Amino acid sequence: MKKLNKDLQAVSKSLKSLSKKTEGLTKAVAKLEKTQSAAKRKPKARAKATRQAVAKKKTATLTATDQVLKIIKRSRKGVDAPTLIKKTGFEDKKIRNILFRASKQGKIKKAGRGIYVGE
C-alpha cells in the first residue's frame, strides 16, 4: 500500500510539471499568433519589399544556359566544349546537355566539328 501511495505521488508530481509546461507553451503560442496577426495587417509594406528583392535576384544571376550562350556569342570564331568547361567551371555532361538543347532550339549552330557559334 505504501508503494502504491509513493507511485501515485510521483505520478501527481509529473502531471503537475506537465501542466505547467503546457501552460507555458500555450502562452508562447498565443504570443506568436498575436505577432502573426499584426504582421498580416501590414501586407502592403512587406509585399513591396519582397517584390523588389525578387526583381534584383532575377537581374543579378544568370542561368547556366545563359552563361554558356553569352560566352559563345562573344566569340567570333566559335567555341568548343573544353573551352566552355574551363570558362564556366561546369562539368562536361552539363556543358554538352546545354549545347545540345541550345542547338535544338536554334540558339546556336555548329561551325565545324565540336565548334559552336551563336546565331
Identify the CATH number of the domain in which residue 101 sits.
1.10.10.10
Structural domain boundaries enclosing 6: 2-59
**Domain co-membership, 69 together with 112:** yes
Question: Are residues 53 and 7 located together in one domain of the fold?
Answer: yes
Please tell me which of 6-20, 32-46, 52-66, 84-98 the model is most confident about, judged by mean pLDDT.
84-98
Residues 20 and 35 in one domain: yes
Give the H or E element holding residue 116: strand 115-118
Question: Do 8 and 52 sit in the same domain of this protein?
Answer: yes
Q: What is the pLDDT of residues 56-73, one digit of tens each?
A: 555 558 899 999 999 999
* Interval 78-108: pLDDT, tens: 999 999 999 999 999 999 999 999 999 999 9
Predicted confidence (pLDDT) at residue 10 exceeds the cutoff of 70: yes
The domain total for the chain is 2
Instruction: Pull the grid cell for residue 83.
Output: 573551352
Give the predicted TM-score (pTM) of the model.
0.49
Q: CA dihedral in degrees (87, 89, 93, 96; nearest 10)?
A: -20
Average pLDDT over residues 29-35: 83
Q: Which residues, listed in sequence order, are joined to residue 48 by a DSSP beta bridge?
A: none
